[in-house]
Amino acid sequence: MIDGQPPPRRRTLRGARRFARYLRGRRARGNGTLEPGEDAFLRRAGELALEAERAGNVPIGSVIVLDGRVVAEGRNAVYRPLRHPGKHAETEALRAVPDELWSRAREMTCYSTLEPCIMCFACLYFHGVQRIVFGASAPAGGAGPLIPDLPWYMRGIQWIGPLGDDTSRELRDRVRQSLQRNA
């Protein structure tokens, strides 16, 4: 006891380990698989990424899908037309979702070419999107490593990826090059 205060409570890893086991059952890592027809959504996200690159931005694209159809699309717009650090592909796609569909947000899936960053993951979560699928990992900035440490009320997110196809890896390498050019 220091200055009349009780000793700090010791934290155990038991709860964190239990939560990590729970998450392993809820998400696919590494060799995640898609249902038939879902690869078309990732291909569309890839097309949007290439559009972003042609416009002078980081090549990342994202689509939001509901009932097997694309309801919103977004591409990275951080550098052009005006520099805005919040215009990531996922947030742009969220802005494009029609207002009348937000009551069904829990049924939506976000497909992105690159693992969402912490900001995008939080935006998707707090908008109610429960399924996130991505093509390539982002070891330096992706939210994946944080998932085992999420609080209990954020359970249930389906985090699927990286799916590891060649196109996704190529786009990830282009993202690195673009970030180095614009640094």
CB 61 within 8 A of CB 114: no
Query: Which of the residues are catalytic?
Result: 90
CA-based nearest residue to 94, from 69, 121, 55: 121
Count of CB atoms situated within 10 Å of the CB of 148? 14
Region for 4 from its dihedrals, namely left if φ exceeds 0, alpha if ψ lies in -120 to 50, beta otherwise: left
DSSP-assigned letter for residue 68: T
